[in-house]
Amino acid sequence: MTASAVTERQYQGQAHEHSRRLMTAWMQELARAESERRPTGALMISGNCVELLRACHILPMFPEVTALQNAIRKKSLPLILKAEQAGYSSDNCAYVKADIGLFLDGGMGPGRPMPFPTITVCNYVGCNVYVKWFEHLADVSGSTLFMLDVPFARTPEPSPADVQYVVAQLRELIALCERVSGHRFDIDELREILAHAARAEDGYARAKQLCKHHPAPFDAYFDAINLMGPINVLRGTPEAAEFFDQAVTEFEGLVAQGLGPLREERFRTVVEGPPPYPFYKSFRNLFARWGAVAVASTYSTVGGIWEWGFRHDPRRPLESIAEQMLRENLTNRSIVARYAQIKRYVEEWHPDALVIHSIKSCRLFSAGQGDMRDYFTQRLGVPTLMVESDLEDPRYYAEAQLKNRIDAFFESLEHKKLTASAAATAWRAAAEGEASGYER
């Protein structure tokens, strides 16, 4: 490294603590669900319809969140191995293996810390693994599987047929939920929940816009995890809406003081791809020591791309849920549509580089990222770093190799910056000379 390493400010912020509190409360609710005889519904994060389950008084559970939490706590490998012993391939998405492994390991089911879902709602929003995962989860848990088929975004706007198909399925889901929970669905209750959701979405979007500032008040990749729980899991609750209002106030305060997550923001990046949860902190440090802060990320939009302005609309409850699932999230869009999303981040958030974290487990994100790199480097001239590991399986994380790649990349970026700024100084001097020449 040519310059001295940048350190974190050791400031986690209130948003971090607040988010943790809310998420813990939700986990506790889940742990009590069985004894309280509350029905639960498994959902996927991407473009989900959590508001609908909430309105049906079904407690949502998210196997992806359980999987990532186990990875962060370094508990994922034994679960993955259990699933592999049962026949899952080393090439299958490790999220699924960690989840099924949890069941095989006795961590899920009646009387266990994680209940079985009463219903398994597969919001098939882009990811084909979701279909398999929930087929398997329904198989082990014996719960009713509802396949909520969301047509992939393959036209500029969803067609009327797409919207009708999703809305019809949402109605069928409501009927199923009523049967399971014994609670009569009330559209006005859903409207109220959607109003809370829209407020949270607004807050999430405002927080992201604040990262256009130099320095960005938080890391839109590594710190975004604190916001992703409330936006994807708790959306529709007044607590989540309140959380975002407070988080935005906190971030605005940081912007006013010119503070970011690091002592110095030397490089601004856009990050593409999920993080390596088993080595979250180590991976973060590899960037932090270079003063590299993510100002935008694609991963934070898997549940919804709120920064472009879409909000759930209480006046059009089912239609707006359908539209969000169909179009307003990263996972239901093509990888090439993601290039456009990143391009917009590049144009509006002014990063110095794009970092592609290629995840073996997640082909939805990764398959073809070499083409993405080609597009950004060759077509747009954006310095792009591509590194590879996994979001759940620690066996694919090679720290030394990653460090070498990351160091080499930022060294060269720093060099480019220095040369560019020297050239700019020279150019300015020459331009000033010319200007004064004219004056004469």
Partner 1 sequence: MTAEQILERAREVIGRPLGAAAERWKAAHPGGRAVAVYPVWAPAELIHAAGMLPLALLGGGGLELTHADARFQSFVCSIAKSTLELGFQGQVTGVDGFVFSNICDVARNLGSIYQRNFPDAFVEYLHLPQNSTSPAVVGYAAAELRRLADGFRERLGFAVTPTALAKSIEIYNALRARLRALYALRIAEPQALSTTELYAVLRAATLAPPEESIGALDALLAGLSQRESRPRDRLRVVLEGAFCEQPPLGLLETLEEAGCYVVEDDLLLGWRWFTGDVVTDGDPFERLGAAYVNQAVPSSTRHEGRQHRADGLIEKVRRARADAVVFMPAKFCEPALFDYVLMKQGLEREGIPHLLVEFEEKMWTFERTRNEIETFVESMLFE
User: Could you say which of partner 1, ligand SF4, none residue 388 binds, taking C-beta under 5 to 8 angstroms by partner kind?
Assistant: partner 1
User: Could you say which of ligand SF4, partner 1, none residue 154 binds, taking C-beta under 5 to 8 angstroms by partner kind?
Assistant: partner 1
The distance of closest approach from Cβ of residue 128 to ligand SF4 in the complex, given in angstroms and rounded to an integer, is 8
Q: Is 136 in the site for partner 1 (CB under 8 A)?
A: yes
- Look at residues 104, 139, 106 and name the one whose alpha carbon lies nearest to residue 122: 139
The distance of closest approach from Cβ of residue 29 to partner 1 in the complex, given in angstroms and rounded to an integer, is 30
Using the minimum distance from each CB to partner 1, give the nearer residue, 146 or 410.
146
What mask of x and - would describe binding to partner 1 in positions 150 to 189, judged by CB under 8 A? -xx-xx---x-xx-xx--xx--x-----------------
* Chain position whose Cβ is nearest to ligand SF4: 362
Cα→Cα distances 440→427, 432, 433, 434, 435, Å: 20, 12, 11, 10, 9
What phi, psi does 254 have (nearest 5°)?
A: -65, -40
Q: What would the DSSP string read from start to end of 60-78?
A: EE-HHHHHHHHHHTT-HHH
> In whole angstroms, what is the distance from residue 36 CA to residue 113 CA?
14
Sign of CA dihedral 99, 361, 74, 88: positive
Sign of CA dihedral 209, 212, 216, 221: positive
The distance of closest approach from Cβ of residue 47 to ligand SF4 in the complex, given in angstroms and rounded to an integer, is 11
Please identify which residue in 22, 148, 174, 293 interacts with partner 1, judged by CB under 8 A. 148
Part of the chain binding partner 1 (CB under 8 A), chosen from 217-225, 228-236, 314-322, 363-371? 363-371
Q: Which residues of 371-398 are buried (b: 16+ CB within 10 A; e: fewer)?
A: ebbebbeeeeebbbbbbbbbbbbbebbe
Structure tokens at 302: 């898997």
Name the amino acid, one letter, at 438.
Y
Using the minimum distance from each CB to partner 1, give the nearer residue, 293 or 362.
362
The distance of closest approach from Cβ of residue 191 to ligand SF4 in the complex, given in angstroms and rounded to an integer, is 30
The distance of closest approach from Cβ of residue 322 to partner 1 in the complex, given in angstroms and rounded to an integer, is 12
> In whole angstroms, what is the distance from residue 112 CA to residue 103 CA?
9
> Which residues inside 74-93 make contact with partner 1, applying CB under 8 A?
86-89, 91-93
Residue 301 buriedness (CB in 10 A; 0-12 / 13-18 / 19+): buried
> Which residues inside 91-120 make contact with partner 1, applying CB under 8 A?
91-93, 96
> In whole angstroms, what is the distance from residue 68 CA to residue 75 CA?
10
User: Could you say which of partner 1, ligand SF4, none residue 95 binds, taking C-beta under 5 to 8 angstroms by partner kind?
Assistant: ligand SF4
Please identify which residue in 181, 297, 369, 389 interacts with partner 1, judged by CB under 8 A. 369
Q: Is 298 in the site for partner 1 (CB under 8 A)?
A: no
> In whole angstroms, what is the distance from residue 164 CA to residue 147 CA?
16
Using the minimum distance from each CB to partner 1, give the nearer residue, 72 or 176.
176
Say if residues 273 and 296 touch (Cβ distance below 8 Å). no
The distance of closest approach from Cβ of residue 386 to ligand SF4 in the complex, given in angstroms and rounded to an integer, is 17
Please identify which residue in 375, 405, 411, 417 interacts with partner 1, judged by CB under 8 A. 375
What phi, psi does 147 have (nearest 5°)?
A: -95, 105
Q: Is 430 in the site for partner 1 (CB under 8 A)?
A: no
Binding site for ligand SF4 (CB under 6 A): 93, 95, 127, 129-130, 133, 361-362, 364-365, 391
Using the minimum distance from each CB to partner 1, give the nearer residue, 152 or 238.
152
> In whole angstroms, what is the distance from residue 51 CA to residue 321 CA?
8
Q: Is 124 in the site for partner 1 (CB under 8 A)?
A: yes
Q: Is 36 in the site for partner 1 (CB under 8 A)?
A: no
> Which residues inside 206-235 make contact with partner 1, applying CB under 8 A?
none
The distance of closest approach from Cβ of residue 135 to partner 1 in the complex, given in angstroms and rounded to an integer, is 7
Sign of CA dihedral 170, 202, 64, 345: positive
> In whole angstroms, what is the distance from residue 134 CA to residue 140 CA?
10
Residue numbers of the site for partner 1 (CB under 8 A)? 86-89, 91-93, 96, 124, 126-129, 131-133, 135-136, 139, 145, 147-149, 151-152, 154-155, 159, 161-162, 164-165, 168-169, 172, 334-337, 339, 358, 360, 362-364, 366-371, 374-375, 388
